Amino acid sequence: MSTRIYTKTGDKGQTSLIGGTRLPKHHIRIEAYGNVDELNSFIGVVRDHLLDLAITIRTGKKCLDTLIEIQDRLFTVGSLLAADPKKNKMKLPEVHEEDILLLEKEIDAMEEKLPEMKSFVLPGGHPLVSACHVARCVCRRAERSVLKLAENEKVEEIIYKYLNRLSDYLFVLSRKFAHDLKAKETPWKPRM
């Protein structure tokens, strides 16, 4: 007998955390890990676009490996947010400082090869670049919702620190892809 994906336990607008606590589906904790889940899905879109262009873009394999590592870390972040900090007894994976250092190392390596930014750039220029910008925006939303949750409940600081650095990584990654694909970066020229 197979396990069914539907349980019907959420039909009345509530869901369970790891640890058994039931919360309304609109609770900030559910929103926070839902935003992280959405971010993870958009990282998958970036990966799929990159797979389509792997021959075109230098260092495609290394970048794919980093994106898979990020997706793994986002599952960890989601599980930590989905656990009741008081009632959960389950051992969960953790986010470590090394995870943030990996992002910083990748950012530094990409920036060494990119032209200096002289203005803000408008998102776009290629579907892969645009996908990175969408992921970056979803990452910022996830970070904001986690910070909102942290105002009232215990959230490990490393979680929002990781999301903050990840949004920086996604921005620099979008610039790297634009550079590698020779896509036009359109500078923002404010009208005064």
Higher pLDDT, 99 or 185: 99
Query: What ranges do the domains of the chain cover?
Result: 23-85+121-184
Mean pLDDT score, 95-115:
96
pLDDT greater than 70 at residue 111: yes
Q: How far is CA 190 from CA 118, 120, 137, in A?
A: 13, 10, 21
Query: Could you tell me the pTM of the whole model?
Result: 0.89
CATH topology of domain 23-85+121-184: Hypothetical Protein Ta1238; Chain: A; (1.20.1200)
Higher pLDDT, 189 or 90: 189
Higher pLDDT, 94 or 87: 94
Separation CA 186–CA 32 (nearest Å): 32
